[in-house]
Structure 1
Amino acid sequence: MKNTFTFVLMLLVFSAKAQTLQSPSKEITLRFSISDSGTPLYQLDYKNKPVVSKSMLGIYLKGNTDLAANFKIDNVKTTTFNETWQPVLGEQSNIVNHYNELTVALSQNGTNRKLNIIFRLFDEGMAFRYEFPKQPHLNYFIISDEKSEFNVTGNHKTFWIPGDFDSQEYAYNETKISDINTDKIDLNNGIGLKSIAGKFVVQSPLMMKTDAGLYLNLFEAAVVNYPVMHLDVNPQTFAFTSRLVPNAIGDKAYLQAPCVSPWRTVMVSDDARKIVSSKMILNLNEPSKIDDTSWIKPMKYVGIWWEMHVGKSTWDYAGSQNAQNTESQELIASGKHGATTANTKRYIDFAAKHGFDGVLVEGWNVGWEDWFGNWKEEVFDFTTPYPDFNLAEINAYAQSKGVKMIMHHETSGSVANYERHLDRALELMKRYGYPAAKSGYVGRIIPRGEFHDGQTMVNHFNFVARRFADYKMMVNSHESSRPTGYHRTYPNYIAAEAARGNEFNAWSVGNPPMHETILPFTRLLGGPMDYTPGIFEIKMSAYDKTKKEQVHTTLAKQLALYVTMYSPLQMAADLPENYEKYPDAFQFIKEVAADWQESRYLEAEPGDYITVARKAKGSENWFLGAITDENARSTEIKLDFLTPGKKYKAVVYQDGSDADWQENPKSYAIKTIQVTAKSKIKLHLAKGGGTAISFTPVN
């Protein structure tokens, strides 16, 4: 690891006059001050123009006390930090972490309580957090509210989803701030559990664009021992205020000094590519706490999963808890169970034949019959397979084929039950050589009254990552709180869902074509997403002629998603037989990398399009993905990211001339050309379409 540190230290006693800090590029300027009532205030400028007007900061404690007023500045410290570090897995093999920092030490008149506010300015934005130092007048305390304001300077275009404490699985709304209103959205969207906090509450990360062409993003980083931050909206004043998720009795966080809050972040740029490529969220997290990371590896996998979503098979073995033999009380097989030994071997054979690392099997363990709709404490024990799933036989077969099995832990939202069984579940994985598990949190949380985004659950998700690390195993969480860069600290937290994934296309109104152009500006800023791309059989009528649902992309766009939607854990999500129908298109999924030396965001506009080129780690091969929204698009791309002086074979997987995500989504064409770093290539993307390209050096 290569590190460079430069420190400039000033320690002075200040009055209430404003303090100023600039980013390393000097394009972003922070001004901090104290109001006449002793309230901390900040404002943010970009290239000498305001982007966040004067906004208040403060913490409220249970018991009608606050850390929001009557402050005076004790001292101010500024530092500069610059390092280059190497992630275990990532979009870049080297990440620059360069910022200027301002720490304002405050004391409260009357109580003599201490509060530090720490600001960091990067070239792409600002971050701040509250620090509670060890002190005689504040030890154990309960946060009842946090009032961090973000008063933006206009009625910006905004990409938002409702402030739901239990789910992020919404399609994005594109409106002005003044039109934000959760009452106006269609809730017939396939989400089973909704806990929307109010008509003027939205989730972060929140992406915006000003009329002047500036891009703004409000988010948070390093959420540890703290609830997730949502945002209250004032549609008239264009003000956003932090909204913390409460626990079962209404408290927000239980803390003990010394401690810190998560970072609150404001990204700003006049170039959308700088937002989507930013590593600021990752940089605000602590370095890896895992010394030996050699066992943390990227994976491409197939699995028994999509066939349940399209209705070909089921997760449950019997179909109903009542389907029992009256004498033995044993469940009677329905004949539709997907996770059978024979079916799993079929997927293992397919993975081995086509070079995939792993096979995921959902529905392997007992309990699925008596769960849906029941707020039940003990559904799964995570160790007992159904009678038609032979763990030992399957894993011996997988090992003989050089394929790893991926465990599935659906918790049914009963987190207390999962934690009780976790070590036994991990021991089972260890016994059979499972390197990773996909966890799920469908349904209402137990302990009852808790939300997915509360402090208790944040601590649980982070605990699971740490416990998996003890066993040298990786975890991929679904229905969890959205990541905020914790995978830097525990890189075995290899991926998460935590957004509306591809599965919604199988049985709901689906994901609109612009959905995948927004996620890189929102959900993916916090960490890699297991979006499960690669669906080739686009229309669900292929399985049932009465079905109207479909994937809202072309087949070529499904290929491009492997590049535009970063994850070191990538699934070829469709059925093996569907890939066998289109072996030439499937070739791209087989070849595309999952871990990267370098990434270049060539074009980006939230809600419209994105084009990314990535170089595979340990290789000279490059891959490009370009996607668009519901509008067809033509563009010309310079290939100057390629190594000068080298010739490359470019295999272009593109929409067919008659392709359309609604009318003709499976129309695609493949061509092979020779290119160099001096070449340009014209791309033609159909409505809801995309292009994927592989570049291989020609010897």
Structure 2
Amino acid sequence: MKCKSAVLWVLMSFVITGSSQAQKVISIHSPDNALQLNISQLATGKTTYSLSYKGAAVIQPSGLGFVLSKPAVTLSRFSISGVDSSTFNETWQPVWGEVSHINNHYKQLVVSLTDKAGSKIAVNIVFRLFNDGLGFRYEFPKQEGLNYFVVADELTQFAMAGDHKAFWIPGDYDSNEYAYNTTKLSEVNALAAAAKEKDIAVTSLIGANAVQTPLMMKTAKGIYINLHEAALVNYPAMNLVLNKSNLSFQSQLVPDAVGNKAYLQTPAITPWRTIVVSDKATDILASKLILNLNEPSVVPDSSWIKPQKFVGMWWEMHVGKATWQKDGGKHGANTQNVMHYIDFAAKYGFDGVLVEGWDVGWEDWFGNWKEDVFDFVTPYPDYDIDALTAYAKQKGVKIIMHHETSGAVTNYERWMDTAYRYMVLHNMNTVKTGYVGKIIPRGEHHDGQWMVNHFVRVAAKTATYGIMLDAHESVHPTGLQRTYPNWMANEAARGSEFNNAPTIGMTPEHTTILPFTRLMGGPMDFTPGLFHMQLNQFDSSRKQRVRSTLCKQMALYVTMYSPLQMAADLPENYNKYLDAFQFIVDVPVDWDDTKVLEAEPGDYITIARKAKNKNNWFIGAITDENSRQLQLPLSFLNAGGSYEATIYRDADNADWQTNPEAYTIEKIMVTNSTVLQVKLAKGGGCAISIFKKN
């Protein structure tokens, strides 16, 4: 439903400011009246927006505008040429996701502006105010005098109302794989934080006060604020640079090889700038604002798009059992080894087997900025792809393709059609892409406009071949899985492989922060499910360890949402704990409903999810380095129903440092009046499956 209403906005009379300049203010409220958006304009033409929640300031008056290099003009002073308002309310069904239906309800305000400095360039700013936050973007309509133009800077500001607690990673044009820092805004020091990192392949730091989005904050009064962007298409990703004198962020777009930010042609739109707000941390995790700001699916028939669980010939290389390259005698992607994984997947009902290191080219590319490394169709001689295709088909399992581009993106674009035809020929319908290394075209960044367009091209092209996509080393997600539902997951953060990193690695609190930051934009291929915590299994000199209990690894399948979930460990490690492995076998990857039961960024998360088209529920609870006692009401279960709960919990003596693999399994009958008492160990978790009994 969409309806126009002239009374939704109020153009107030002049208000005298401290400088005696007249000010116009346009105000609207969210549908539930908790949020208020004000658009203000001084007589000078400076236009700002501000946002409050239940009367408390969230965003102080913050500037809007652009610097263009072609034509050379600064757009920061405007006259208002029109204001339009409307309401919108619909419910739509995602192809897959955390819930079966999503409500999209907002009030919209379109403010039409004209440059006051002489260029007469017209810009519209579209604001959408939801119950859970604000999204706004710029629109450059078709107009005389502005056709092709180049963005030098975007002047969007986010002026914070206090020195909030923030969960942040350093601003960077090429990597979002940093460990999270928790400090006050005034204590942000991105360069100092980045100096501790030794395990990230390619970095391009912005400066001491630069951080990335999604940025999570908590005010002293308990208001949670998340800054990010939605529908990132044909535009560079946004970082934020903090002015510590007034605690205001300004957008910092990723430049291209010659320093420009974006090349556009009217009519043109930017991504949405998003502000998710609540006084409940659980509401932040439940928000669908970013998804709602994306366009509906462009895939005409999505029936072939299926969430899936898979195992993989992947962790072997990270723990030293095997290598990606054939040279050296430890090549993992050989025919017999992959058949072993296919057998394991078939035995336990997994959908696919990811195979990395199958194709010629792994020997000499890393760090060499080399272009023609892979052709994506030539297997190593010890990898019989025809035999494996037939064997996997016989077992009812699909091989998942791996395309490591080595950062040579121009090379990948030349080979894409050939590579996807090769996949279809060999009965493969899912590809994991990788972009390790510096980008070619040389000088481009992972998160610049050129690469953003590449990722969208890959999503669109794989859809035409009936292929699902999982992108690693990609730009941060911004909800485009709604538009391209075959683009099912991304890495774009510090994932589970960093458990093997020699320096910082993966702290226990990391997985309690990621859902509030990286996962706000979309699902992550985090690769959970590690059951062997000391990583010296094949190399006694290794000191790294997984900073988690075994039960927490199971709980991550619920708390770290993805429609593509990998059982990341080796089959031999799962065979030691088959009773615990049963939870990974049982847990779905597509859901009808999700209840965020409790959450606090950096501390703990408990989530319950209802399996798609079934009356079964699954719960995951995780904690940071501290132990916790849960009181878990099961009131979300149907009244009058009887259920059997299997509780996979940390043993009483479990501890991520001293006894991480100790667990206890209990089965009890429960109803919707049951309250479970569960203790989480330090760095621990709990996974619960609840099956409806007839």
Report if TM-score (shorter chain) is over 0.5.
yes
- Structure 1 pair 355–226 and aligned structure 2 pair: CA distance change class (3 A): same
Counting matched residue pairs gives: 681
Q: Shift of residue 512 of structure 1?
A: 0.5
**CA–CA distance in structure 1, aligned partners of residues 29 and 101 of structure 2:** 24
* Unaligned 5+ runs, structure 1: 319-333
User: For residue 366 of structure 1, what is the aligned residue in structure 2?
Assistant: 360
Contact residue 29 and residue 37 of structure 2 kept, 8 A: yes
User: For residue 5 of structure 2, what is the aligned residue in structure 1?
Assistant: 8
User: For residue 669 of structure 1, what is the aligned residue in structure 2?
Assistant: 664
Q: Shift of residue 293 of structure 1?
A: 0.2
SS at match of 2:226: strand
User: For residue 137 of structure 2, what is the aligned residue in structure 1?
Assistant: 129
- Structure 1 pair 265–11 and aligned structure 2 pair: CA distance change class (3 A): closer
Q: Shift of residue 10 of structure 1?
A: 6.4
Q: Deviations over 1:360-394 (max 9, x none)?
A: 00000000001112110110000000000011100
RMSD across aligned positions (CA): 1.3
User: For residue 649 of structure 1, what is the aligned residue in structure 2?
Assistant: 644
1:493 pairs with 2:490? no
User: For residue 526 of structure 1, what is the aligned residue in structure 2?
Assistant: 521
1:340 pairs with 2:348? no
The runs of at least 4 aligned residues of structure 1 exceeding 4 Å deviation read 9-16
1:599 pairs with 2:606? no
Contact residue 13 and residue 76 of structure 1 kept, 8 A: no
Contact residue 66 and residue 76 of structure 2 kept, 8 A: no
User: For residue 429 of structure 1, what is the aligned residue in structure 2?
Assistant: 423
SS at match of 1:368: coil
Contact residue 30 and residue 45 of structure 1 kept, 8 A: yes
Contact residue 191 and residue 205 of structure 2 kept, 8 A: no
| Candidates 234, 240, 254, aligned match of 1:231 | 240
User: For residue 691 of structure 2, what is the aligned residue in structure 1?
Assistant: 696
User: For residue 146 of structure 1, what is the aligned residue in structure 2?
Assistant: 154
Contact residue 309 and residue 507 of structure 1 kept, 8 A: no
Q: Shift of residue 68 of structure 1?
A: 2.8
Q: Shift of residue 107 of structure 1?
A: 1.2
| Candidates 171, 177, 182, aligned match of 1:174 | 182
Contact residue 9 and residue 26 of structure 2 kept, 8 A: no
- Structure 1 pair 373–680 and aligned structure 2 pair: CA distance change class (3 A): same
1:516 pairs with 2:511? yes
SS at match of 1:267: strand
SS at match of 1:542: coil
**CA–CA distance in structure 2, aligned partners of residues 127 and 237 of structure 1:** 23
Q: Shift of residue 507 of structure 1?
A: 3.1
**CA–CA distance in structure 2, aligned partners of residues 346 and 422 of structure 1:** 29
Q: Shift of residue 276 of structure 1?
A: 1.0
Q: Shift of residue 65 of structure 1?
A: 3.5
**CA–CA distance in structure 2, aligned partners of residues 579 and 66 of structure 1:** 62
Contact residue 10 and residue 28 of structure 2 kept, 8 A: no
SS at match of 2:414: helix
Q: Deviations over 1:10-67 (max 9, x none)?
A: 6999796210011111000000011232122011111011111111001110057335
SS at match of 1:503: helix
User: For residue 683 of structure 1, what is the aligned residue in structure 2?
Assistant: 678
**CA–CA distance in structure 2, aligned partners of residues 47 and 22 of structure 1:** 11
**CA–CA distance in structure 1, aligned partners of residues 436 and 332 of structure 2:** 19
Contact residue 39 and residue 68 of structure 1 kept, 8 A: no
| Candidates 110, 118, 134, aligned match of 1:103 | 110
1:626 pairs with 2:633? no
**CA–CA distance in structure 2, aligned partners of residues 13 and 622 of structure 1:** 47
Q: Deviations over 1:584-630 (max 9, x none)?
A: 00000000000000000000100000000000001111000000001
Contact residue 64 and residue 76 of structure 2 kept, 8 A: no
Contact residue 319 and residue 536 of structure 2 kept, 8 A: no
User: For residue 461 of structure 2, what is the aligned residue in structure 1?
Assistant: 467
Q: Shift of residue 495 of structure 1?
A: 0.5
User: For residue 57 of structure 2, what is the aligned residue in structure 1?
Assistant: 50
**CA–CA distance in structure 1, aligned partners of residues 628 and 370 of structure 2:** 49
SS at match of 1:117: strand
SS at match of 1:20: strand
SS at match of 2:225: strand
- Structure 1 pair 13–171 and aligned structure 2 pair: CA distance change class (3 A): closer
Contact residue 310 and residue 507 of structure 1 kept, 8 A: no
User: For residue 32 of structure 1, what is the aligned residue in structure 2?
Assistant: 39
Q: Shift of residue 102 of structure 1?
A: 0.4
Q: Shift of residue 698 of structure 1?
A: 1.4
| Candidates 369, 392, 402, aligned match of 2:396 | 402
* Unaligned 5+ runs, structure 2: 14-22
User: For residue 117 of structure 1, what is the aligned residue in structure 2?
Assistant: 125
- Tell me which amino acid in the other structure corresponds to 2:150: I
| Candidates 418, 435, 447, aligned match of 1:453 | 447
Q: Deviations over 1:114-163 (max 9, x none)?
A: 11011110111111100101100211000000010000111000000000
**CA–CA distance in structure 2, aligned partners of residues 295 and 12 of structure 1:** 45
Q: Deviations over 1:501-521 (max 9, x none)?
A: 000102333111000001101
SS at match of 2:387: helix
SS at match of 2:481: helix
SS at match of 1:545: coil
Q: Deviations over 1:259-287 (max 9, x none)?
A: 11000011111001111110100000000
Q: Shift of residue 302 of structure 1?
A: 0.3
1:613 pairs with 2:613? no
1:504 pairs with 2:498? yes
**CA–CA distance in structure 2, aligned partners of residues 350 and 376 of structure 1:** 37
User: For residue 250 of structure 2, what is the aligned residue in structure 1?
Assistant: 241
Q: Shift of residue 8 of structure 1?
A: 2.6
| Candidates 565, 569, 573, aligned match of 1:570 | 565
Once the two structures are overlaid, the 10-residue window that deviates more, 105-114 or 583-592, is 105-114
- Tell me which amino acid in the other structure corresponds to 1:291: P
SS at match of 1:281: helix
Q: Shift of residue 235 of structure 1?
A: 2.3
User: For residue 196 of structure 1, what is the aligned residue in structure 2?
Assistant: 205
1:386 pairs with 2:386? no
Identity fraction in percent: 57
User: For residue 311 of structure 1, what is the aligned residue in structure 2?
Assistant: 320
TM-score (norm 1): 0.96
SS at match of 1:17: strand
Q: Deviations over 1:195-219 (max 9, x none)?
A: 1111110001100001111101111
